[in-house]
């Protein structure tokens, strides 16, 4: 059985998230998703939704076998517990793949790292939480 891990913030689910997780699920037999805790999201604005709610939304998706809330202090703790065969990064996630490989290796985690494919938005759909928030502000404020 091939165990896959995907991870992200997943703030305001959109078609891009569904594509990423569907792509990741297709790479193995079981998909675990690690949802970042709000305090660990430092590369973009703080999530709108609380972590517990974001985890529940991701867990409700049919392609996800199990969703986990990330560790508050060490992002590798859930990865060590899950022991994946593959970690799938989103096509546009900011991770340094070589740095991630080194960090995994230093902790004795032996797994492959892959990137999910991109999903082109159809018509006027939004595949970015930031763009969704911008549109809400534009239309409601």
Two structure tokens written together for 77: 């703790």
pLDDT digits (tens, 9 = 90+) for 56-99: 999 999 999 999 999 999 989 999 999 999 999 998 888 889 99
Residue 16 annotated in ligand binding: yes
Please check if 71 is assigned to a binding site.
no
Tell whether residue 2 is among the known ligand binding residues: no
Q: Note the pTM of the prediction, 2 decimals.
A: 0.92
Q: Where are the domains of the chain?
A: 3-140
Average pLDDT rounded to a whole number, residues 6-23: 95
Q: Please check the confidence at residue 141 and state whether its pLDDT lies above 90.
A: no
Q: What local confidence, expressed as pLDDT, does residue 125 receive?
A: 86
**CB-based contact 33:64 (threshold 8 Å):** yes
3 contacts 80 by C-beta, under 8 angstroms: no
- What is the pLDDT, as a whole number, of residue 7? 96
Domain 3-140: what homologous superfamily? Answer: HUPs (3.40.50.620)
Q: Is 110 annotated as a binding residue?
A: no
Q: Are 88 and 6 in contact (CB under 8 A)?
A: yes
What is the average pLDDT value for the chain, to the nearest integer? 93
Share of the chain above pLDDT 70, in %: 100
- Spatial distance between the Cα atoms of 39 and 19, rounded to a whole number of angstroms: 25
Q: Which of 57, 61, 66 is nearest to 31 (CA)?
A: 66
3-state SS, one letter per residue, for the chain: CCEEEEEECCCCCCHHHHHHHHHHHCCCCEEEEEECCHHHCCCCCCCCCCHHHHHHHHHCCCCCCEEEECCCCCCCHHHHHHCCCEEEECCCCCCCHHHHHHHHHHCCCCCEEEECCCCCCCCCCCCCHHHHHHHHHHHHC
For residue 45, pLDDT beyond 90 = no
Does the pLDDT of residue 121 top 80, yes or no? no
Output the six-digit token pair for 75: 């992002």
Q: Is residue 92 a known part of a binding site?
A: yes
Percent of the chain with pLDDT over 90: 76
Query: Please, what sign has the CA dihedral across residues 66, 69, 75, 81?
Result: negative
């Amino acid at each position: 059985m091939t165990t896959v891990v995907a991870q992200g913030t997943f703030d305001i689910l959109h078609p891009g998230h569904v594509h990423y997780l569907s792509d990741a699920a297709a790479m193995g037999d079981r998909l675990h998703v690690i949802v970042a805790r709000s305090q660990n999201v430092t590369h973009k604005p703080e999530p709108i939704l609380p972590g517990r709610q974001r985890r529940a939304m991701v867990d409700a998706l049919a392609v996800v076998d199990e969703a986990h809330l990330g560790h508050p202090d060490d992002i590798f703790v859930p990865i060590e517990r899950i022991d994946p065969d593959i970690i799938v990064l989103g096509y546009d996630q900011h991770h340094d793949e070589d740095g991630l490989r080194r960090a995994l290796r230093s902790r004795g985690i032996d797994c492959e790292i892959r990137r999910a494919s991109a999903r082109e938005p159809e018509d006027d759909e939004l595949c970015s939480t930031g763009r969704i928030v911008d549109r809400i502000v534009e239309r409601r404020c």
